Structure 1
Amino acid sequence: MLLNLEAFEACSDNTNDLGVTSYIWFMESIVDQDEDVKELQSKGIPINSIGWDKYVVDLFKDIITGLAPRVDAYLLVKTSIAMHLVKAKWTPIQIATWVKDVMRFAVLYAVVDILLSFIQTYFTVFPSPNKH
């Protein structure tokens, strides 16, 4: 049904607000894993009449190829979701994971910085013999 609605919306004779296309993009942005489909269904949002949650995830990923949604569509919903995530309390495990990721990035950055400094120093001390 979504594919047919999107195809109708894409017709050049159809002047509309790209509501179906924007809805498909929005749903794809919140349905990344099988668990997301189960969560939506537990809240009364029926998006799967097929039975396989993985199929729903793959379907949305496949449908969005080549679509151009309205940028401002579902902006209020997206903002509300973002605010909810910001207000959510971080658990000690989430904080530890974040610190570990930041430290891993910092160590990698330091190693790359030191390596590039050595390379720069080498070429400064031993210039290329082909220079005139």
Structure 2
Amino acid sequence: MLLNLIAYEMCYLNAYEAWVTSYTCLLDTLIDNGEDVKALRKAGVLENSLGSDEEVAKLFNEIGTNLVPYKSAYLNAKREIQKHYESWRNTLFSQLKKEYVKSPWAFFALLGALIALLLSGFQTYFTVWSPKSTCDDLCMFFKSNHHL
């Protein structure tokens, strides 16, 4: 059906935007192997009724080799995907997820280290900028009278 839609779009004389062709080219840029098809299926972008994920990846890679997409169709989607991919925050979270969510012990070690770092920050803050109390007057009295 996809090939028929592309052929219809190419033969239609008044078509100035090849939306199906551009969408197919976009999917071709996103799909390289079966893992990419699996991720797109989980996201709800694709429904795989053709066979295995590897067969779908092979199909899109074969279809997309000779297609020329319309310039502006799905250009914004490509930019947003690239922006999301290059985001520092997303890269950091994916590395943390890859390294520390593999096992529950690694996750608990990371969580414990973050809690210890947070508590030591609070302790440092209250040590340096502690509010004035009655004990401060007592300490000043001892310092002035007992040469401490």
Q: Same fold (TM over 0.5)?
A: yes
Assess if the C-alpha contact under 8 Å between 2:25 and 2:64 holds in 1: yes
- What TM-score comes out, normalization by structure 2 length? 0.56
Q: Which amino acid aligns with 1:83?
A: K
* Gap change, CA 1:42 and 1:61, over 3 Å in 2: same
Aligned partners of 1:43, 1:65: CA distance in 2, in Å?
Answer: 25
Q: Which moved more, 1:82-91 or 1:47-56?
A: 82-91
Equivalent residues in 2 for 1:49-60 (5 A)?
Answer: 49-60=49-60
Alpha-carbon distance, 1:43 to partner: 1.4
More helix per residue: 1 or 2?
2
Paired residue for 2:61?
61
Unaligned runs of 5+ in 2: 97-148
Aligned partners of 1:13, 1:89: CA distance in 2, in Å?
Answer: 45
Alpha-carbon distance, 1:78 to partner: 0.9
Alpha-carbon distance, 1:51 to partner: 2.5
Residue 91 of structure 2 aligns to a residue whose secondary structure is: coil
Larger Rg: 2
Q: Which amino acid aligns with 1:41?
A: R
Alpha-carbon distance, 1:2 to partner: 0.5
Alpha-carbon distance, 1:16 to partner: 4.0
Alpha-carbon distance, 1:25 to partner: 0.3
RMSD (CA atoms):
2.0
| Percent identity between the two aligned chains | 40
Task: Indicate whether 1:85 and 2:85 are aligned.
Answer: yes
Aligned partners of 1:15, 1:83: CA distance in 2, in Å?
Answer: 30
Aligned partners of 1:89, 1:68: CA distance in 2, in Å?
Answer: 31
Structure of greater relative contact order (alpha carbons < 8 Å, 6+ residues apart) = 1
Task: Indicate whether 1:48 and 2:53 are aligned.
Answer: no
Aligned partners of 1:54, 1:62: CA distance in 2, in Å?
Answer: 12
Unaligned runs of 5+ in 1: 93-132
Paired residue for 1:33?
33
The number of aligned residues is 93
Alpha-carbon distance, 1:55 to partner: 0.9
Assess if the C-alpha contact under 8 Å between 2:33 and 2:57 holds in 1: yes
Alpha-carbon distance, 1:9 to partner: 0.9
Alpha-carbon distance, 1:23 to partner: 0.6
- What TM-score comes out, normalization by structure 1 length? 0.62
* Gap change, CA 1:89 and 1:46, over 3 Å in 2: closer
Assess if the C-alpha contact under 8 Å between 1:9 and 1:16 holds in 2: no
